[in-house]
Amino acid sequence: MSPFGTRSAARAARMWHEVADKVFVRRFLDFNVNVGLVVGDNATLVIDTRGSDRQGRELASEIRWITHGKLVVANTHHHYDHAFGNSAFLPAEIWGHEQCAARLRSDSRTTQYALAAAMPEFAAEYTDAHITPPNKTFRDSVSLELGGRKVELTHYGRGHTDNDIVAVVPDVHVVFAGDLVEQGAPPSFEDSYPMDWPGTMGRILDVALGPVIPGHGEVVGRSFVEGQLADLSALAQLARRVRFDGGSADDAMPLSPFPARVARVALTRAFAQLAGEL
């Protein structure tokens, strides 16, 4: 009998896109977010868990159409759409940067109320989420052995947040970049370190030898990362130059490579960094 018992299960299984041998990506309508699966002989790594208990449970059940084996989780960073579904995977190991765990502890309540206010029809779903910070944390890098293959989790530096990690599957040259790379929308700068982001992105470029899975949007490749790195570098250089000339974030706005509403946040963060306030 097919492992896919019903028609709907088969349809859902097709939503998992196999980007390399036993490496899958599933893009969800909620927040256009990507979830990754790296299947090994002994365990499967789940990269990000979506935005609530319900979304996490739905994800966990969809993973069962791919594998019935042991699951291990990694969060690319602390943002709700990547980590608020963690509780559905307990008692699994949940890996993340130490600052990812700290930020989930300190910031989540505020985020939950903000989500509830923004989406009143789903308020309970977001306020009731059982925030579950990573129970396995690291600062620089860790190698996970899944059986027959490994995955390297590395913090290349600050960028989209202070706790972004990148998951590299070396045997197939797949890179899960989290929100350090964003497709389908400009990068998100609310918690960012725009002066550090280009250097961090450069380290992604060093390992971008195959498919690169952004936190949101379509799977991309090296040339897309190069393009986003060019924009991020231009923004950082612009901030530095305008500040050197005595100007403000507002003065730099019209020259930004990003749309105005994005540029405002990015340049405000960049100037704060240059002033030593971040």
Q: Which stretch binds Zn ion (CB under 5 A): 175-183, 205-213, 223-231, 238-246?
A: 175-183
Residue pair 34/56 in contact (Cβ under 8 Å)? The answer is: no
- Letters for 133-172 (x = contact with Zn ion by CB under 5 A, - = none) are ----------------------------------------
* Distance in Å, CB of 69 to Zn ion, minimum: 28
The CA distance from 250 to 190, in Å, is 17
Residue pair 34/70 in contact (Cβ under 8 Å)? The answer is: no
The CA distance from 8 to 50, in Å, is 21
Residue pair 220/243 in contact (Cβ under 8 Å)? The answer is: no
* Distance in Å, CB of 166 to Zn ion, minimum: 13
**# residues contacting Zn ion (CB under 5 A):** 2
Site for Zn ion in 74-103 (CB under 5 A): 79
Contacts of 151 (CB under 8 A, 6+ apart): 38, 45, 74, 143, 144, 167, 168, 169
* Distance in Å, CB of 48 to Zn ion, minimum: 10
* Distance in Å, CB of 215 to Zn ion, minimum: 6
* Distance in Å, CB of 164 to Zn ion, minimum: 8
Q: Which stretch binds Zn ion (CB under 5 A): 9-17, 34-42, 173-181, 233-241?
A: 173-181
Reading phi first (left if > 0) and then psi (alpha if -120 to 50, else beta), residue 25 is in: beta
Question: In terms of Cα–Cα distance, which of 46, 80, 65 is closest to 4?
Answer: 65
Cβ-proximal residue to Zn ion, closest one: 79
79 versus 269: smaller Cβ distance to Zn ion = 79
* Distance in Å, CB of 82 to Zn ion, minimum: 6
1 versus 29: smaller Cβ distance to Zn ion = 29
125 versus 179: smaller Cβ distance to Zn ion = 179
62 versus 179: smaller Cβ distance to Zn ion = 179
- 222-244 and 260-274 helices, crossing angle to 10°: 60
Site for Zn ion in 50-79 (CB under 5 A): 79
Question: In terms of Cα–Cα distance, which of 76, 140, 130 is closest to 105?
Answer: 130
**How do strand 166-169 and strand 174-178 relate by DSSP bridges?**
antiparallel
DSSP category for residue 276? T
Question: In terms of Cα–Cα distance, which of 101, 95, 93 is closest to 71?
Answer: 93
62 versus 81: smaller Cβ distance to Zn ion = 81
Asked if residue 179 binds Zn ion (CB under 5 A), the reply is: yes
* Distance in Å, CB of 156 to Zn ion, minimum: 15
44 versus 132: smaller Cβ distance to Zn ion = 132
Write out the residues near Zn ion by the rule CB under 5 A: 79, 179
